[in-house]
């Protein structure tokens, strides 16, 4: 995880000690859109689909995450998950409680800045996708 890189080995061990290991099989749900966020999920192995569902029940996969973490947006803003997540293949996740991650962000500014950078890259990617979609709609 790039944003955990500034932490020392000792810090990483301490942070990992607060994590729960969560195993999910293919198509099992990690979290649902609208659920309260009580944790950050770090992908240790496997792949997770981030998706939205239309009112008609049609799924739109927003992205496939193979490494990294899930749940930074609601972790930071305190709102519910803006999308759902299920696993594309058997997956192992580390579940870090929200309160723990926020406490670490307060103590380690580089961790908070790293999370902000991940969120900024996602906003840019989604803005590019939206722009491409709007261009296709006009032509």
Per-residue pLDDT of the chain (139 residues; tens, 9 = 90+): 778 888 889 999 999 999 999 999 999 999 999 999 999 999 999 999 999 988 888 888 988 999 889 999 999 999 999 999 999 999 999 999 999 999 999 999 888 988 888 888 878 877 877 777 677 766 5
pLDDT digits (tens, 9 = 90+) for 76-87: 999 999 999 999
pLDDT digits (tens, 9 = 90+) for 70-110: 999 999 999 999 999 999 999 999 999 999 999 999 999 88
Q: Name the nearest CA neighbour of 83 among 122, 120, 118, 132.
A: 122
Q: Are 29 and 86 in contact (CB under 8 A)?
A: yes
pTM, two decimal places = 0.84
**How far apart are alpha carbons 7 and 123 in whole angstroms?**
25
> Tokens at residue 124, please?
């840019």
Predicted local confidence at residue 121, as pLDDT: 84
Domains of the chain: 2-138 (2.60.120.10)
């Amino acid at each position: 995880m790039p944003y955990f890189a500034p932490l020392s080995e000792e810090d990483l061990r301490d942070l990992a000690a607060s994590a729960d290991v969560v195993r999910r099989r293919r198509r099992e749900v990690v979290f649902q859109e609208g659920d309260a966020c009580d944790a950050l999920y770090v992908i240790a192995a496997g792949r997770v689909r981030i998706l939205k569902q239309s009112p008609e029940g049609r799924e739109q996969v927003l992205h496939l995450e193979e490494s990294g973490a899930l749940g930074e947006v609601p972790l930071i803003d305190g709102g519910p998950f803006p999308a759902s997540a299920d696993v594309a293949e058997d997956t192992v996740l580390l579940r870090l409680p929200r309160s723990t991650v926020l406490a670490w962000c307060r103590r380690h500014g580089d961790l908070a800045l790293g999370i902000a950078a991940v969120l900024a890259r996602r906003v840019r990617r989604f803005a590019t996708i939206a722009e491409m979609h709007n261009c296709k709609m006009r032509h």
